[in-house]
Structures are given as structure tokens and as C-alpha cells.
Amino acid sequence: MINEYNLYKYLEFSIFVLYLILIFLFVQIWFSWKDIDKKELMLKSIVDEAFFKKNCVYIFLFSFLPLVHEFFEGTSLPNLIVYLEFFEFLALTSLVLFVHNWYTVLKICANKKSMPKELASYSK
């Protein structure tokens, strides 16, 4: 049986894993940025209505959920810490989905799959 403390531990661990995934996606976007055709990126990503709608939903969620987290932080509800961690988990999940959405679009627009020059010196 999962009690509040164990649920809290699982949420904390899940949040940590989401931070690692977020860092990985940011690094991948950073390395692939120089290989991206900026004109093709503008045409593919901005014109696509589904991409724009998804990004709006993600931005709303990772903007609104921390506000809900802060609002409930001042109250004295029972088992509040689990709910607060759940709001933090949802906000971070929406941020990871937002970055992953951009990563998939940027990966399609990349011209070549070269090794980043930052890592080229380590491979010799």
C-alpha cells in the first residue's frame, strides 16, 4: 500500500528524472542548433497550426501550474505536500513536453548530422 510519504518519494524521484531529461533535451538542441536551416525552420514550425496550438497549451500549463502550487502553499490542507509535489510534477512534465516538441521540429530541420566541434577535440 502506498502511503503519502512513499508517494512523496516517488514524485520527488520522478521530478529528478524529468530534470535530467530536460537537461538532455536542452543539450541536444544546443548541439544541433548550428546545423539547422533557419529559413526551413520558420516555414515548417511557425506555419503549422497544430505545433502552435500544442506550444500554447504547454506554455499555459507550465505557467499556470506553479501559480496553483504557490496558491495552495499558503493553506493548511491535510496531505498538502503531496498535492504540491504533484503540481510541480505536472508543471515540469509540461515543460519537458514543450522542449521535446521543439526538439523534434529542430531535428527534422537539421541539414547534416555532424559531430559538434565542442566534442571533436575529445574524440582525437
Q: Hey, where are the domains in the chain?
A: 36-111
Cell numbers that stand for 121 in this block: 577535440
Q: What is the pLDDT of residues 42-74, one digit of tens each?
A: 666 566 788 888 888 999 999 898 888 778 777
Q: Say what the pTM is.
A: 0.76
CA distances from residue 114 to 33, 35, 110, 121 in whole angstroms, order as listed: 11, 8, 10, 14
The percentage of residues in the chain with a pLDDT greater than 90, rounded to a whole number, is: 26
**3-class DSSP assignment, residue 63:** helix
Query: Around Cβ 50, how many Cβ atoms within 10 Å?
Result: 7
Rounded mean pLDDT, 100-117: 74
